[in-house]
């Protein structure tokens, strides 16, 4: 299980990295979004699995609970990455409005000497 999930995370990271290396702005942002998925999944599996533990709700009165700490961390991470992604998207929209291109290779800024 852990091995399979680790491989899955690796695949997600690979795809995300590949997208981040592309020219189009939208692809890059998509890459960052996938990268967040991968990271959240990674935190999750690092918490470990066990078949017979229940969700971290004390009302369940189970013998053992799943580790709640990684879940709290992921919850925080999800919200933050959402905020960042939203900001990126609006930034991309403004960039395109102003500069009429979404090609990162053309977004070079200005030379200091010009």
99 near other proteins (CB under 8 A): no
CB of 49 to other proteins, least distance (A): 4
46 near other proteins (CB under 8 A): yes
Q: Check residue 101 and report its DSSP letter.
A: -
- What is d(CA 5, CA 18) in angstroms, rounded to the nearest whole number? 20
Per-residue string for binding with other proteins, 55-74, x by CB under 8 A?
xxxxx-----xxxxx-xx-x
83 near other proteins (CB under 8 A): yes
Q: Is the dihedral of CA 100, 105, 106, 109 positive or negative?
A: positive
21 near other proteins (CB under 8 A): yes
- What is d(CA 79, CA 86) in angstroms, rounded to the nearest whole number? 11
- What is d(CA 56, CA 88) in angstroms, rounded to the nearest whole number? 34
**Bridge partners for 54 per DSSP:** 65
CB of 74 to other proteins, least distance (A): 6
The token pair at 107 is 């977004």
Subset of 1-20 contacting other proteins (CB under 8 A): 1-15, 17-20
Rule CB under 8 A: choose which of 23, 63, 99, 114 binds other proteins: 23
């Amino acid at each position: 299980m852990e091995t399979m999930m680790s491989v899955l995370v690796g695949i997600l990271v690979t795809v995300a990295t590949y997208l981040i290396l592309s020219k189009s702005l939208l692809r890059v942002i998509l890459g960052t979004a996938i990268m967040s998925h991968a990271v959240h999944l990674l935190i999750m599996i690092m918490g470990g699995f066990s078949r017979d533990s229940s969700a971290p709700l004390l009302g369940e009165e189970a013998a053992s609970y799943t580790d709640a700490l990684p879940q709290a961390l992921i919850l925080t991470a999800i919200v933050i990455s959402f905020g960042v992604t939203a900001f990126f998207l609006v930034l991309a929209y403004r960039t395109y409005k102003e500069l009429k291109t979404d090609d990162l290779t053309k977004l070079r800024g200005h030379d200091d000497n010009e």
